[in-house]
Amino acid sequence: MSNQQPGSHRELQHRLVVSSFIFSFTNESPQIALFKRSDKVSTYQHHLAPISGSIEQPESPISAAWREIGEETSLTKQDIELWRQGKPFSFSDPSIGRQWTIYPFAFRLKSRDEGGRGHAAIKIDWEHEEWHWYNPKEVMNEETFGGVPRLAESLRRVFFELDMNEKPSGALRSGLEQLKTDHSSGSHELTTIALKAFRDVLVHLKNEPDWWKTARMAAWHLWKNGRESMGSATLNAFLGVLADIDAIKAQDSENQWDRILAVLDHHLERRRKTASHIKEAFNAYLHSSFLPNIQSREKKEITILTLSASSTIRDSILDAFKSLPTSHLDLRILESRPLFEGASMASSLLSEFELIFPVSSGQRLHISIYTDASAALAAKDVDFVLLGADRISSSGSVSNKIGSLPAVLSAKHISPEARVLVFSGLEKVAEPGAEEDHEPEENDPMEVISPWVDSGVKAVNKLQEAIGGNKTEASNCVVEVKNVYFEWVDANMIDGFITEEGALGAPEIRKKALEVKEKADNYFDSF
């Protein structure tokens, strides 16, 4: 502890730190691991704390959290998984000359059945004297508990159950679990799930004195702790909902609560119309930018490359083809491993085409399904590369499913006249800084490994032995299987955005991003 005398003054040193709580759910009630800091650390010796440490620039908070956990406990991604993050907060401690900004995280300890090593994997280093499991409800800020300053506040920011009654808390937990485990829906569908979960929470907040703060906290968690990599749409949807609720709240009418729930129902209904507006925008774009070209060249075919499983892109392609004076649609689809969404897209398109265009129509469809590694072959002589978007940065770069970047790079090199178009609702536009803060979403390696096993890939057992460090300690070999879902396509490779407001460019995207930040600061900075 500091020797600073009462009444003395000095400039506070600002430190950005992570505080990572390790949760165990092996018992009926959750437990958290708290670590007693040793006398070798510079601050708060002999105090209970989560795994904490400074963020070393230029690393992100979550990268710092993983590093500190590895250094101080020896736990790895084999043993734990990121469960939740909490809203950062700041406070000053003049007694040691520090101003802290805390980034709270919660990690879940995997059981042995999940491939983890369980409690025995926790091995503390010199920074701690000992550690024990605690009931989260027992953690307090009071000095008698023996914790570091604001310990309970850090915990509450990741474990909202401490601040919510059972029914709204259960509804929020259920919504988060549904979002986390849904790896088949796109961001538009996931946002609808998030809004429905938010409505379920609100139903149970009626008559609670601090319901507005709790509602905003629930929205924040659904945005950040559902599927944040696809969370820009969720954020924008919540900003619209919260603005409408805020206006109703200010009126203090008798039927206020009914009106609030009706607003949510209205937003859910309105979301269904976005896809039709995007279809209209693509049709208008083709007639203004592509139709003159095919008429001058007497072109009878339109060639499109995509790797999206989006029903919006599917319907937009077919609707546009119906309106163009071309008789042949050459559609090339990348299979999109490991979930093979390309095959699903091809099947869906084929079914819809057969419904819309009978054999007597004279319209012809040719679908080619390519392996992801064949992106360069698939890109030859294409007119358009059509992408979806899970997140659009303020600069106009796009985060989309893995494989998007190779497809675009191939098209730009092999078919330089091809236009790269992004189909997206404007709700996918993120606040400024989102691209830099965006962490790759790594998913279950078994999604990649299982097809190897099912197909009888030779010697796959040899790989499985080494995956995740499962070989004996005497081995010097480790194999990792990377299952990353999303990657960025730079703005300078994108020719346009097809949105519900028409075809837009990077300047309009930038303007929208600034609006998102202003609204997000308004509703989430104050709690």
Domain ranges of the chain: 13-160, 163-271, 274-434+487-511, 445-469+477-483
Question: How many residues are present in the chain?
Answer: 527
pTM (2 d.p.) = 0.84
Residue 115 token pair: 């491939």
Beta strands in 94-209 (DSSP E): 98-109, 128-134
Residue 142 token pair: 């009071």
Identify the residue whose tokens are 């592509």: 290
Residue 79 token pair: 């043993």
Superfamily of domain covering 13-160: Nucleoside Triphosphate Pyrophosphohydrolase (3.90.79.10)
Architecture of domain 163-271: Up-down Bundle (1.20)
Query: How many Cβ atoms are within 10 Å of 55's Cβ, its own excluded?
Result: 20
Per-residue pLDDT of the chain (527 residues; tens, 9 = 90+): 334 444 445 689 999 999 999 999 977 789 999 999 999 999 999 999 999 999 998 899 999 999 999 999 999 988 999 999 999 999 999 999 999 999 999 999 998 888 788 888 999 999 999 999 999 999 998 888 999 999 999 999 999 999 999 999 999 999 999 999 998 888 889 999 999 999 999 999 998 999 999 999 999 999 999 988 888 999 999 999 999 999 999 887 778 999 999 999 999 998 888 889 999 999 999 999 888 877 666 678 899 999 978 889 999 999 999 988 888 999 999 998 888 889 999 999 999 999 999 999 999 999 999 999 999 999 999 999 999 999 999 999 999 999 999 999 999 999 999 999 999 999 999 988 755 556 677 788 888 888 888 888 888 888 877 775 554 456 677 788 888 889 999 999 999 999 999 999 999 999 999 999 999 999 998 77
Q: Distance (Å, rounded) from C-alpha 302 to C-alpha 140? A: 65
| Fold matches, 163-271 and 274-434+487-511 | no
**H or E stretch including 379?**
none
CATH 3.40.50.10470 fits 274-434+487-511, yes or no: yes
On whether the CB atoms of residues 432 and 395 are closer than 8 A, the answer is no
Q: In Å, how far are 42, 124, 276, 326, 359 from 363, measured between CA atoms?
A: 75, 68, 23, 8, 7
